[in-house]
Amino acid sequence: MIVLGYNGFGKAAELFARLYRATGIDRHLLFGHDSAAALIVDGSLVAAVEEERLNREKKTSKFPSNALNWCLESGGLTLDDVDVFAFSWQFSDDVMDRMIAEITEDASASAAEKLSRLGRLAETHAALFGREAILADFHEHTGHHLDPGKLTQVPHHLAHLMTGYHLAGGHDTAFLVSDGRAEWLSAIAGEVRGGEIRIFDELSIDSRHSLAMLFSVVTRYLGFVPNNDEYKVMALAGYAPPPQANPLLDHVVTVRPDGTYEIPYPASAVPAYYALFDRVFDGAPDRREDFAFRVRVAGAAQQMIEVLTAAHLGAVERRSDESRLVFEGGLALNCVNNTKLLEGSRFTAMDVSFGASDVGVALGAALYASREAGDTPRTGKSPYLGPEFSREDILAALDKFSQQVEWREVEPGRVPAETAALLQDESVVGWFQGRMEYGPRALGNRSILANPRFPGIKDLINERIKQREPFRPFAPVVLEELAPEVFETGKKDDSPYMTFVFPVRPAYQELIQGACHVDATARIQTVTDESNPQLAQLLRRFNELTGVPCLINTSFNVAGEPIVCSPVDALACFLNTDMDHLVLGSFLVRRTTDS
């Protein structure tokens, strides 16, 4: 059985701009962002890639034509060979009825407002959500008339769940999925036993009370891009201790006795939220970019996330006796919260996948459809699912830039040792190896690496290379066997996808200061010889040379750009920054003296 999963709407950006004014910083707030495709053959995960890595438009919502084509080419297949096309949204009649009721039952809206919203919903359904619209979109962007019988529409939150469940090994588990919104819900909870999914309906939270969307509104309020820059708010929260009195918990949100929660306005009510935030934080437009004010609001927002998700998870604990937890959805990218959720619960194990955000639903939809067809999904745990480039590809790219760079080739087995030597000082190295990672994190194949022991290394990378805000921290990558020695990892044995944050042990805080956040924590990636042999060898050799057990690992891109995919992307990024060296496969690259 050949299953091709995908996410993305061809007309989404244009339609949402016209109907909902979702332009500028609001362009990612609605459906379909993080377009992607994933291929499963006879239950085995073969390939997956985000459209943004190929069309070079960050968080694109466009139809994933390039991603679909690459997945098929990597498997030696054509569209005619595919048995099932799995789409990661399902706007069924029941869902549409609920969305209509959400509008008509809104007591705060006038009759005219309700009529306008119903009209926009009808047009959106006709152009995007309806089955005929999905089939037409597919034909428009591929030229292929998709057999309606081959199209499986998967509820968005179930696609999230399938990604997390299978990447965690397919064990019996409790689960929580929480994001901005799916079809009409923002969160579901339940358990999987013996492969059977059981949703605790009473713990579902509709989209009007979306915690992730409220966090996005706070992100927007502080001058950042919503549904994109929430990690900046999380980072800012680390600059002060948690607030003793929290205006958001005291005056904005309400935790119900059953562990669910209420939020006062839908996320679309931005003016109402701005007025409310100004009142409870004594804010004003000219204060929102003040660093101390941002830290105060960010701390309150981060604590709100932690309190509300802990309450929700507590309700799951009361309903399920499973010892494991899978947490997925965009809210699961808040890695500070993830660690606190696990440590504050009775769960002994918690998994958050490399595809926790919407990039993962293309994969999850394919996994769901594969299960439904009777296959047993076999995903493994590797995030390295994207394009790989040959020696000849790299040489061709180098030739294009031959006036600007010079290079030498080393034996593949020498690459880790040669790179470790480059990293002994304050050099910053672009690292391009093997298949590209799937998901929002650079996990060691499309990375920028540096030595964390130097006091100014964080500022150097933020300013001269990443071209981003100075308060942003960097993540360390460490051998899994050394992680408990360097970090207080608590219940976690590993953190392979940078989805958990741990305190840095006092003995190492100065030694790896460039990878320590201001609050002496770090979002770590653990590596083994099995998960990434090349990176593991580099870490081992670097530790032997320097006595430093970690490297800074940040994504190979600059602010606003997708992570590099190809050798040409890598060379262009290298030349547009102040990186010192570039390691392209087995080629060591540097600028020419006159470039």
Instruction: Mention every residue, 6+ apart, whose C-beta is less than 8 A from residue 94.
Output: none
Closest CA to 425 of 470, 456, 404: 456
**Both tokens assigned to 503:** 């305190």
CA distance 213 to 235: 18
Whole-number Cα distances in Å, 385 to 38, 70, 186, 329: 9, 11, 28, 20
Q: Which helix (H) or strand (E) holds 197?
A: strand 196-199
CA distance 79 to 147: 11
Report the greatest alpha carbon distance in the chain.
Answer: 72
CA distance 301 to 296: 9
DSSP string of 119-142, one letter each residue: HHHHHHIIIIISHHHHHHHHHHHH
- What single-letter DSSP state applies at residue 384? B
Is residue 28 flagged as an active site residue? no
What Rg, from alpha-carbon coordinates, does the chain have?
A: 23
3 state SS of 459: helix
Whole-number Cα distances in Å, 474 to 512, 523, 540: 11, 8, 20
Closest CA to 174 of 49, 280, 52, 322: 322
CA distance 78 to 345: 47
Residue with token string 């970019």: 289
The answer to whether residues 556 and 478 touch, using CB atoms and an 8 Å cutoff, is no
Q: Which helix (H) or strand (E) holds 52?
A: helix 51-55
CA distance 563 to 173: 33
Indicate which residue of 28, 33, 160, 209 is catalytic: 33
Residue 417 burial class via C-beta count within 10 angstroms: exposed 0-12, middle 13-18, buried 19 and up: middle
DSSP string of 480-528, one letter each residue: GGGHHHHB--TT-S--TTS--EEEBPGGGTTTTGGG--TTSEEE-EEE-
Active-site residue list: 33
